[in-house]
Structure 1
Amino acid sequence: MRDQPAQARWVIWLSLLVALALTIWPLPDTVAPFRPEWSALVLIYWIMALPHRVNVGTAWITGLLLDVLTGSLLGQHALALAIMSLVVAGSHLRIRVFPVWQQAMTVMALLGLYELMLILVDGVTGNLYDLEWRWAPVLAGMLLWPWIMFLLRALRRQFGVS
C-alpha cells in the first residue's frame, strides 16, 4: 500500500530543479547581486508544508548540487542549507500560522542565517568579497516570498502533493 501518490515526489523534485536552474540563469550585471536564493526559498516552503517528506537530507542533497553547479567549495551550500533547514523544521508549525508579512520577515531571518553561514565558510577559506552585496539576496528573497509561497501552494494543491 502506498501512502503517497507518485506525482508528489516529482513535483517537489521538479520545483527544486527549477530553483537550481534559476540559480545559474544568467542575469544582467546590474540585477545579478539581487538574485534571490531560489533553492533556499523552495526548501523553506517544502519543509514548512511537508516536513515529513522534505527534510535536512533533502537540503543537504540540494546544497551539494548547488555547490557543483556554482563551482563553490563542495559542502558549503550543503552545510548552510542543512543548518537553515534544521531551524525551519524545528519551528515549522509556528511559521505556518503566521500571516504572510510575518512569514516574509521570518524568511528574511532564515535567509540571513543561510547567508551568514556562507560568509563564515568563505571567511575560513579566505574568499571574502563584496560583503555589502551579500545581503541583497536576503532582501530579494523576503520580497519574493509571498509569490513563491502562493505559487508552490497552488502546485501542491493542484497535484495533491501530501
Structure 2
Amino acid sequence: MNFAYHNIAFHSVKYLVLLSYCLSLILSVYALRVDWLIILPPFALMVLLFWVVQILNQTHLFTALILGLLMDGLHQTLLGSHSLIFIIITFMMIRMRLRFRSTPLWQQSIVIGFYMLIFQILYFILYTPPLSEEGAVLYWSMPLVSIVLWPLIALSLTKLSSPTSNT
C-alpha cells in the first residue's frame, strides 16, 4: 500500500485543520460520558500528530498547548497537565517526523501506539487514576486501539486534505 504524503501549506487547509481539532475534541467529550470508553485514545492528540507530520512549516507546539488546555477543561483536571503531555509528545514527533513520513502506514501505526503508551504512562504518573482490575486492562489497552485507529484517521484526513485532481 503506497501512502504518499503531500507537503501541505497551512493556509490551504486551515479550515480543515480547525474542523478536525473541533471534531476530535467532541469525540473526546463523548468518550468521557461512558466508563468503558476509557479504551479510546485522545483523538485530539492523534489529530495533532497527523497535522504535525503533514504541515512541515510550523512547529505546532502552541497548538499542543491550546489543545492540552482545552482537554484540561474537558476533563476538569489540573490546568496545564494535558498541555505538558501534549507538548512532550508533539516535540518527540517533530524530532522524527521526516523519518515518520517515509515509513509505511503499518509502521506509522506502531510508532503512534508507542506515543500513546508514553501518553498513558505520563497520564498515570500525573493523575494515578483509580482503576479496577477490569478498568486497568481497558486503560492499558488504549495504545493497541490507537494502532488500529491511526490508519483510519490518517487515510481520512489525507483524503480530505489532498489536492483534487481533475483527470
TM-score bucket (shorter structure) = 0.7 to 0.9
Using the alignment, how far apart are the partners of 1:5 and 1:141 within structure 2?
Answer: 25
Match of 2:117 in 1: 112
**Percent identical across equivalent pairs?**
25
The amino acid that maps onto 2:130 is Y
The answer to whether the 8 A contact 2:10-2:55 is kept is no
Using the alignment, how far apart are the partners of 2:52 and 2:138 within structure 1?
Answer: 27
Q: Select 1:12's aligned residue among 17, 34, 53.
A: 17
Using the alignment, how far apart are the partners of 2:109 and 2:80 within structure 1?
Answer: 27
Q: CA RMSD in A?
A: 1.9
Using the alignment, how far apart are the partners of 2:65 and 2:49 within structure 1?
Answer: 13
SS in 2 for 1:134: helix
Report the TM-score, using the length of structure 2 for normalisation. Answer: 0.82
Match of 1:36 in 2: 41
The answer to whether the 8 A contact 2:100-2:108 is kept is yes
The answer to whether the 8 A contact 2:59-2:94 is kept is no
Using the alignment, how far apart are the partners of 1:5 and 1:95 within structure 2?
Answer: 19
Alignment of 1:133 with 2:138, yes or no, is yes
Report the TM-score, using the length of structure 1 for normalisation. Answer: 0.84
- Alpha-carbon distance change, 5 to 107 in structure 1, aligned in 2, over 3 angstroms: closer
1:39-62 deviation line (CA, Å, top 9, x unaligned): 111011000111323511111110
- Alpha-carbon distance change, 135 to 52 in structure 1, aligned in 2, over 3 angstroms: farther
Alignment of 1:88 with 2:93, yes or no, is yes
Using the alignment, how far apart are the partners of 1:59 and 1:16 within structure 2?
Answer: 11
Aligned length: 151
Q: Which has the higher contact order (CA 8 A, sep 6+)?
A: 1
Using the alignment, how far apart are the partners of 2:11 and 2:104 within structure 1?
Answer: 31
Q: Select 1:46's aligned residue among 48, 51, 65.
A: 51
Using the alignment, how far apart are the partners of 2:52 and 2:26 within structure 1?
Answer: 20
The amino acid that maps onto 1:92 is R
Which moved further from structure 2: 136-145 or 94-103?
A: 136-145
